[in-house]
Amino acid sequence: MQLKEQQDISLDIPNSHKITIGDRVKALGPAVIVIAGIIGPGTITTMSVVGSSYGYQALWIVVLACIFAYFYQEPATRITLHKRVSIMDGIRDHIGKPVAIFLFVTVLIGAIAFQAGNFTGAALALNYFVPDISLTVWAASMSLTALVIVWIGVYKLLEHINKVLIALMILAFVLTAFFSGPNIGELVKEGFSFQMLGGNYWLILALLATTMPPNIVLGLSTFIKERYATMENIVVKREIKLSKFDLRFNMIATVFISGAIVVSAGTVIFPTGIEVESAADMAMQLTPILGRYAGILFSLGLWAAGFSSGLYQISLACRLMNESIGKELDFKAPRSRAVMIVASLVPIGIILLFSEVPISIIITAQSLNGLALPLVAGLVLILCNKKEFLGAAVNNTRQNIVYGGILIFVTLLAVRVFLDLFGVI
């Protein structure tokens, strides 16, 4: 639902509202949903390829990317809780409705492209357990199941489902990494040697982009807005602290999930010289070396990643569409239903057309996704400095330096890849 913009609030946290451990646990929610947008089959594939090709060398990039991802999303907590509107609402009202609509269309096109990979990844995982059912049937069933969940339109249902799926991913991938038996000394020495993966900037951008999809800051903002939609008289500073805890906790979870995949591939596949071509191939390579339980664990994690990411993209597309045009969030409205159907069923058409999503397409899509990062980051930075919108909550000097640094970094990296595409460098 659309909320009225309220005046800036800067209240100290009274003793009666001090934050407890229970409060922190209850605060976990919006960022859990957003993790689903980060950890999908594309991420698992990218991490598997990096680990199998470069061993542990990319671990420092994974950690750095998650730190960047935290600061990239942090403005969502301040903007949404101070003003009780989302970032997309702010872009529409304070930068321009055409810009908001353009941004939504860009996100929707990206979502459709990645949805094919999401549902294919979930299908490949299920096919590992029941190979007699075709990938297309599995993918279609996952797409329809996700559509039904979003169709119901209950935020808490979405939040609880994603909590279970994220927990499953952590369990599956971390256990797989543990059972692979990495040498801790080599892991630390190689993983934090700050090597640049042989100068493969395309792959480095893919690593960054898969941890910082352009739409995650928009998604976090809209889910925070929805969570607090019915709450009155909140203590803003307290809720911002809780929202930042939610974000930090889930960025740490992202480090564990992504890092565990790199470690598994680096420990088991890298020494063999085998080329990994997909996340499902990673599971198959683990099986003969670590035993079938490793393939089962990895496939469970792949399924959770594919399904949760597909669920996230359908849900977010519906919300952003309504925000971009300034309409109430009505899941039963024809406009909302139409976007849900497009985001869930068009990808199945892509799967039917191409029959598979090759590894090269996944890596390229992740990299091109990184080219859109400067656009979204730039719009957020502009919004964070609009005093007529945020009042006293506008970016301070430190926040501008940090966010400006992220914007410069992703822009330079995007330009580097763009020039490489055209053979300039």
The domain limits of the chain are 20-367
Residue 321 and residue 119 in contact, taking contact as beta carbons nearer than 8 Å? no
Give the pLDDT of residue 1.
Answer: 45
Q: Write out the two tokens for 377.
A: 């980051």
What is the tens place of the pLDDT at every residue in 13-35?
Answer: 555 567 888 889 888 889 989 99
For 180, phi then psi, to 5°, come to: -75, -15
Give the residue, 107 or 308, on which the prediction is more confident.
Answer: 308
Interatomic CA distance for residues 105 and 158, integer angstroms: 23
What is the tens place of the pLDDT at every residue in 157-196?
Answer: 888 888 899 999 999 999 999 989 999 999 999 999 998 8
Would you place residue 10 in the very low, low, confident or very high pLDDT band (cuts 50, 70, 90)? very low
Give the pLDDT of residue 365.
Answer: 56
Give the pLDDT of residue 5.
Answer: 45
Give the pLDDT of residue 242.
Answer: 93
Mean per-residue pLDDT, 358-377: 64
Give the pLDDT of residue 19.
Answer: 83
Interatomic CA distance for residues 249 and 406, integer angstroms: 21
Give the pLDDT of residue 421.
Answer: 58
Those residues with Cβ within 8 angstroms of residue 149's Cβ, 6 or more apart along the chain or in another chain:
157, 158, 161, 311
Q: How far is CA 315 from CA 122, 209, 328, in A?
A: 17, 21, 15
Contacts within 8 Å (CB) and 24+ apart, 269-273:
269/48, 269/51, 269/52, 270/51, 270/52, 270/53, 270/54, 270/55
Q: Write out the two tokens for 285.
A: 């390579």
| Residue 75: its H or E element | helix 59-83
Contacts within 8 Å (CB) and 24+ apart, 202-206:
202/363, 202/367, 202/417, 202/420, 203/46, 203/49, 203/50, 203/363, 204/61, 204/413, 205/366, 205/367, 205/370, 205/413, 205/414, 205/416, 205/417, 206/46, 206/363, 206/366, 206/367, 206/370
Superfamily of chain region 20-367: Hydantoin permease (1.10.4160.10)
Task: Record the pTM.
Answer: 0.87
